[in-house]
Structure 1
């Protein structure tokens, strides 16, 4: 295994080297960069996603009870869920939780400790049993102060030390579904009892659990109007979800309709996932309001759901985005409900999408999207914080931006290669003939600062040539410098994501008036890349910054 990893590292390093040369014309620079990136993706994925997962699953495996083949599949799913939570911690990390619902597990009732069944606050180590024999194991952690990765490490330790879970996974036919969550506590104290998942506690009814992003703004009103009983010690608004779902179910309607009705009553922006232990082969999802989304990843025999695409990319880059503001039927009501069917896991047929009015909206292949990023783009490595990692990655991002474009010749001088994907033959002709008389370099925020540096670099090269070069925020160009005919203008638009609304709007306005646009952008297939006449990608064309402060993206933009 070590020899394989060493060879993969050597392959990765070879294609990471900016001076690595292959016979090619300048017009092939972008093609070569894409191919180089794909080779590095492959080497990284084998070493980290496949071999790395093998090692992590081995570390989760009990030495006391050997998992069955089915049990090993569940451990792999657990590891993938934990890895997804680890990457999503940048969205919130003061508490985290994970539940494992198992059935066909071969455990006897006498093996389940009563204290684990009777914790009304549903803290770490709690178990719930269904009349159908399924068992729900829950693991939680809460810590106001800590580092990224601490919570998932704690969850791993709790699961590894649970002999009852290990014994359940030794069953030959055992099956499971898994739901996890990480958060900042926006409502309620930071505690295990408030950490998600949360459950209903109405009488002797079957357990219902949910995890939630966003806030239920009217949770206090719902508690009062529906006379919901929330145990002392639980102060999170999320507890309203399973309580109301359970109450609707008691009234005699189906689990699915009860879930729809509960979420329909919520005010605010909410993304929610729920499980009814009496129906272990289904997971229910819903998104309502703006600002929240869920991404349902599809892969062979499995679904993986996350609140950001980077929570999925270890196992799939193909997903359905569930948006609370999207209209999916003619009813005019926004919001969506999804039921995932484990029996059809990984297929479009197993994704049942409905409106709150119960209108079905079939999910088709055209509804799916693909992300270009991989786990190597968002891996934190051994760094405690993404900011530190991204500062140290800045030289590598600059080298990647220059790869194939700044080439050292035999005499020691450097040759600049800009392909036609960036500077078309027609644009070169327009610059040479004097048709282009103005160059605006635009951006917003950090990109606007980079634009000033690019303006200085271009002006230096055009000394003595009658071309005016100015750097401006995109909003200033669209507000003060638009004219009816801009055919004599070149706009260099800078954006890390390619989705900056003000920049993209300005680009569209200048193009409508005849201007040419070159985009300096980090993300392939972004809106800005699609609107530009030419594109110069920074780094690999998908260099991701997870921290708020821009570092490597800024340096790469200036160099480009």
Structure 2
């Protein structure tokens, strides 16, 4: 989950590397560092802390250079210390390496290298890589041969970028961790994700597992796992540099909450026709649905909550559907056949657990479709079909606009599937639902403009725990609301199906336990009843729903959403909960965009 960046070209690399690392901090911010060829060797500058803390130090101390690598770390092996920060170097200092991923056989390699005289200075798995390269350079006449021999020894996942003293180039490789190539006139970049260099170029090539790259000032050479030169398709990403900056907002999260009207508009564009009650997906070949009898929806974290939402709609349409946490899929899925469609939901398309589940499903004969935000991601390449949520780049670790875009995409996909499968039935009110979806951007603007979440947040931090309850399609919103709250406030929060409250959790309810009631969607009266059960035990009820809806009068505080289609009410309620989490975390002075111990793209299992 770390972020890496590399540059080779005519311009000084130091500023580009530091700016790129700041754009990659959603992947980790325990420590950071860069290495550049400075004309007399490799200069390394690194330390614990986030990039903003060390920017001035690096810019002051680092000599200029046109070739360099950088890293921002999410700790896996070893605590976040100066010694464990990347880049790591060989004994001689002639080789510097940055790495994202996990080297599973690092202990055996460390033992082998130590026996051959190499000394280690960190606790990381990464440090074996520069020592391996140096070890093989003793017997290989060419650096590329030594680099290849080194990566051939590695087991696990990695994206690696390496500098070699007196060579004006970067050597890089990927296997299981993302690495994307950026191409500009006279400038070439490698990074874990596009935002690292999107201010310089939007022309990218997504590298594949087994690829090895040599980055030089006059171009980039790509070789496959057999050493054969290959070309990877160059695509132009539809992202503007402004999209990866905070603009006038204090935090990326707040900006991305405010971005949701435009991101949802992109999600639904060209996909809905309310007049005909039709749903279209140009990027989905419906032949993929031939013979499908059951659907497995697989995801992690926030994407799992979106998956629950979509699965409910599929079940309502008469499709046999199960939802699985990706990390449990291999053991929990049971029989899978060529009549099974597995839909993986992953914002980044690089989530390790989800990729493992996708590969498990494909290996058992299932057809696979991935719902993702990133064209060219590993999930998009490996699935039989891909559907893109079109949310644009999201920098804040706590997902906001990608969740709403995932849910809208799954709403539409569920109805498209229901239209195509012979035993399924689309919603009777589909034209009304599609019309409501087209109004969602306007309604989101209204919610964001009129929300009282900031006022509510002034007294919320005084409590000990927070419960979120919902029923039916509001249950995933309750789960997501609790997850968002705990992620960025560090306060204890739990989400439940509202009917579950009286089967145990009610024992925890006191006057210090506010209960957020999702009074949206269907069966609202039952959720109101469950909320009142908590209220009689002293809990304050914070209702979310239409202005005159059930529960408004019973709530101690109330956050309104426009009175629209029941399915869409839940989407609007989710935005209110995002704002509650944001403003409460702000009251508590939490690092909202960089919650402790978390990273956005979870590329380790």
1:446 to 305, 327, 330: 305
Structure 2 residue 60 is the aligned partner of structure 1 residue 154: no
Query: What is the aligned partner in structure 2 of residue 85 from structure 1?
Result: 21
Q: Distance in 2 between matches of 1:320 and 1:195?
A: 26
Aligned-residue Cα RMSD (Å) equals: 5.1
Give the drift of 1:224: 3.1
The corresponding residue for 1:200 is 90
Partner of residue 490, structure 2: none
Distance 1:135 1:274 in 2: 14
What count of residue pairs does the alignment treat as equivalent?
Answer: 374
8 Å Cα contact 2:77-2:123 kept in structure 1: yes
Partner of 1:302: 187
Q: Does 1:552 find its partner at 2:404? A: yes
Within-5 A mapping of 1:105-504: 134-143=40-49, 150-151=50-51, 153-162=52-61, 165=63, 176-202=66-92, 207-213=94-100, 214-215=102-103, 216-231=106-121, 234-251=122-139, 253-279=141-167, 281-287=168-174, 291-314=176-199, 315-323=201-209, 326=210, 336-342=211-217, 345-346=218-219, 350-351=220-221, 353=223, 355=225, 360-364=227-231, 367-370=232-235, 372-375=237-240, 379=244, 381=246, 389-401=255-267, 418=278, 443-444=297-298, 445-451=304-310, 454=313, 469-470=318-319, 472-473=321-322, 495=345
**C-alpha separation in 2, matches of 1:495 and 1:188:** 31
How far, CA to CA, are the matches of 2:9 and 2:166 in structure 1? 24
Evaluate the alpha carbon distance shift between residue 201 and residue 378 of structure 1 in structure 2; reply closer, same or farther with a 3 A threshold: same
CA distance in 2, matches of 1:270, 1:503: 19
Residues 160, 228 of structure 1: CA spacing in aligned structure 2 closer, same or farther, 3 A cutoff? closer
5+ residue gaps, structure 2, are: 1-7, 299-303, 413-605
Residues 396/555 of structure 1: CA separation in 2 closer, same or farther (3 Å cut): farther
Q: Report the CA distance between 1:241 and its aligned residue.
A: 2.6
The CA distance in 1 between the partners of 2:111 and 2:128, in whole Å, is 10
Structure 2 contact 23–395 (Cα < 8 Å) conserved: no
Residues 404, 417 of structure 1: 8 Å contact kept: no
Pick the aligned partner of 2:11 from 66, 74, 81: 74
**Is the 1:94–1:185 Cα contact (8 Å) retained in structure 2?**
yes
The alpha-carbon distance between structure 1 residues 492 and 368, as it changes in their structure 2 partners (threshold 3 A), is: closer
Asked if the contact 1:283–1:341 (Cα under 8 Å) also holds between the matched residues in 2, the reply is yes
Gaps of 5+ in 1: 1-70, 104-133, 144-149, 170-174, 327-335, 408-413, 428-437, 460-467
Partner of 1:102: 38
Q: Is the 8 A contact 1:441 1:451 kept in 2?
A: no
Contact 1:98-1:178 within 8 A present in 2 as well:
yes
How far apart, CA to CA, are the structure 2 residues paired with 1:531 and 1:387?
30
Counterpart CA distance in 1 for 2:369 and 2:77 is 45
Q: Secondary structure at the match of 2:20?
A: helix
User: In 2, are the aligned partners of 1:442 and 1:493 still within 8 Å (CA)?
Assistant: yes
CA 1:503–1:541 in structure 2 vs 1: closer, same or farther (change >3 Å)? farther
Please tell me whether the aligned partners of residues 95 and 163 of structure 2 are also in contact (alpha carbons under 8 angstroms): yes
SS in 2 for 1:161: helix
1:171-224, Cα deviation, whole Å (9 max, x unpaired): xxxx6201111112322342223211122234xxx7222222233343431233
Counterpart CA distance in 1 for 2:18 and 2:256 is: 23
Q: Return the offset for 1:226.
A: 1.6
- Distance of 1:510 and 1:267 partners within structure 2: 26
Contact 2:343–2:371, Cα closer than 8 Å, also in 1: yes
Larger radius of gyration: 1
Distance in structure 1 (CA, Å) of the matches to 2:322 and 2:28: 32
Measure how far apart 1:96 and its partner are. 0.7
The one-character-per-residue Cα deviations of 1:386-406 (angstroms, maximum 9, x if unpaired) are 655544444444444456788
Alignment partners' CA distance in 2, 1:307 and 1:276: 21
**Distance in 1 separating the partners of 2:202 and 2:179:** 15
Decide whether the 8 Å contact of 2:346 with 2:370 is kept in 1.
no
Query: CA offsets, 1:123-173, max 9 Å, x none?
Result: xxxxxxxxxxx3433322312xxxxxx41x2343124434x83xxx5xxxx
Structure 2 distance, partners of 1:441, 1:271, is 33
